[in-house]
Amino acid sequence: MGPKITYSPEQDIADLNGKVFFITGGTAGIGRLTILELAKHNASHIHFTGRNKKSADSLIAEVGQIAPNVGITFYECDQTSFLSIENVAKSFLSSNPTRLDVLICNAGIMGGAPGLSKDGYEIQFGINFLSHALLTKRFIPLLERTASEQGEARIINVSSSAYEMQKGGLPFEDLKTTQGDLGMFGQWARYGQSKFAQILYTAELAKRHPTITSIAIHPSVVWTGIIEELPFLDRLFIKAATWGQKMPLHQGAYNECWAATTPRKESIQSGSLYYPVGVKTELTKPAADEKLWAELWDWTEKQLEGSHA
């Protein structure tokens, strides 16, 4: 049984007219659910990425049925590739948008065999963290402009309670390897490491770009396709490790929706981590290390220096 939820999108999301959203990984799972809720509440335009054009077309058609006045644009994207991320950013920004209210870094993978991204980074770290750091870097000027003109803009990093598995710093020297020597549960150590990085980066974003509200969230445990596609033993591990946290699929996007739409003055503190729904949660000691925040930021900037479309 998961956490008791009193949040209701129907009652708690205000009219979103005028607001522009960009969400990665929107074709399935909680990303898709979030897009549908944003559309139901009259967002002006929703931009989203994904790998599956057929699923994207289906989502666009569904949005057209429930909210015909909401603009929606799909960008096919390979999160393992900096070049693909750059092309998405270039395509979005070349359309001359005048505002971007909320960037939701939602796309990700979980577990799986050791591997490398197309740019040579541990695959989960590359997809879950670095690809979003690059997209964030490209969108910061527009987000800051929106914050100045509209009063606020947000960056939401969809992390996980699995970040708590990281008991120390980050192995920067090993992040350009598959890290295939971490033992039987190495895939989960690599997953937790990527989610740990998202939380550190969010905290440092809040310090370096204070006009943007930057938060990390844990969406709870939702049995979406990302889990269903895992091998049996991995699914068994997740069930055991997250006993009592599972939420129904229809509630899986609630924390993401809350983070994207709740008025900041009510409850959001930039740089913080929120568990479902809207519960500010103290960071673990390793994640609260401000020197590590800065170290990750500097390392990330160096990794992204050579990236260009």
Q: What is the pLDDT confidence band of residue 1, given thresholds at 50, 70 and 90?
A: very low
246 carries an active-site annotation: no
Q: What domains sit in the chain, N to C, each tagged with a CATH number? A: 9-302 (3.40.50.720)
Name the active-site residue from 195, 201, 254, 274: 195
Tell me: pLDDT of 272 over 70: yes
Lowest mean pLDDT among 54-68, 168-182, 255-269: 255-269
Average the pLDDT over 1-7 and give the result: 73
Average the pLDDT over 67-87 and give the result: 98
Q: What pLDDT sits at residue 225?
A: 47
CA 254 vs CA 174, 217, 241, 277: distances in Å: 35, 11, 22, 7
Q: What pLDDT sits at residue 234?
A: 52
For the stretch 44-53, pLDDT in tens is 999 999 999 9
207 carries an active-site annotation: no
Name the active-site residue from 75, 121, 163, 191: 191
Tell me: pLDDT of 244 over 80: no
The overall average pLDDT reported for the chain is: 92
Q: What pLDDT sits at residue 2?
A: 57
Q: What pLDDT sits at residue 205?
A: 99
C-alpha to C-alpha distance for 39 and 21, rounded to whole angstroms: 10
